[in-house]
Amino acid sequence: MRALIIYDSKHEAGATHAIAECITNALREGGIEATICRPKDPCPNPRNFDLIVVGTPIYYERPMRSVLEFIDRNDGLRGLKVAVFITCFAASKKIPAPIRNAVIRRYLNSVLKHVKGEVVASKVFKGWIRSPDPSVLEECAEWGKTLVKIAQKLSALASKGSRGEELSYA
C-alpha cells in the first residue's frame, strides 16, 4: 500500500506540519509506504497512490488555497480514496460543543466540497501557535493508526475484487 500525504502551512514548523509528520510516521509504522509533500514542491502523481491524505490549517476561516488548488488540478482526486484533516482553534474544547461542531463542520466542508474522490476518513485537530499540544500529538498518532486499518481494509477489498469476488465495506 502506498499513501501520499499532501499538506501546507504558513509556518514551516507549525501544527499542521507536526501533525502531517505524525500521521506519516504512524502510516510507516503500520507498514504503509508513505510519501509526504507540500503542493509548492514537485509532488508525485496522486494516481500512483492507494490513499491520499490531505491536510490544511484554517486561517481567517479558510483552508489554504494551495491545498484546494492541488485537489482541483488533480480533478478533485476523482476515483481515489481520500482522507482529509484540518487544524484550527475552533476544535478547542473550550468552545461550547454546539458552536464548535457547527464551525468545524463548515471548515471541513470547505475542503470536502473540492474532493470528488471517495472520502474514507476526516478529522479536525486543535492547532497551536507556539508549543505543541501533547494530547493533539497523541490524537494524530491514533488517527494515523486508524488510517492504517482503513488502508489494510482497502487493500483486502481490492485483492478480493481482482479475484472477481463481490466487494463489501462491511
Ligand X SMILES: Cc1cc2nc3c(=O)[nH]c(=O)nc-3n(C[C@H](O)[C@H](O)[C@H](O)COP(=O)(O)O)c2cc1C
Residues found near ligand X in the complex (CB under 6 A): 9-11, 14-17, 57-61, 87-90, 127-129
Q: Which of 46, 54, 51 is nearest to 6 (CA)?
A: 54
Instruction: Give the type of residue at 143.
Output: W
- Residue 71 or residue 80: which is nearer to ligand X going by CB? 71
Residue that is written with C-alpha cell 475542503 in the block: 111
- Residue 69 or residue 165: which is nearer to ligand X going by CB? 69
Smallest gap from residue 4 Cβ to ligand X (A): 19
Residue 79, phi-psi category: left (phi > 0), alpha (psi -120 to 50), beta (remainder) = left
- Residue 61 or residue 165: which is nearer to ligand X going by CB? 61
Give strand pairing partners of 119: 82
- Residue 99 or residue 156: which is nearer to ligand X going by CB? 99
Smallest gap from residue 80 Cβ to ligand X (A): 24
Smallest gap from residue 74 Cβ to ligand X (A): 22
Burial of 73 (0-12, 13-18, 19+ CB in 10 A): exposed
- Residue 112 or residue 128: which is nearer to ligand X going by CB? 128
Cα 151 to Cα 139: distance, rounded to the nearest angstrom: 18
Smallest gap from residue 13 Cβ to ligand X (A): 8
φ/ψ of residue 6, rounded to 5: -115, 125
Smallest gap from residue 87 Cβ to ligand X (A): 4
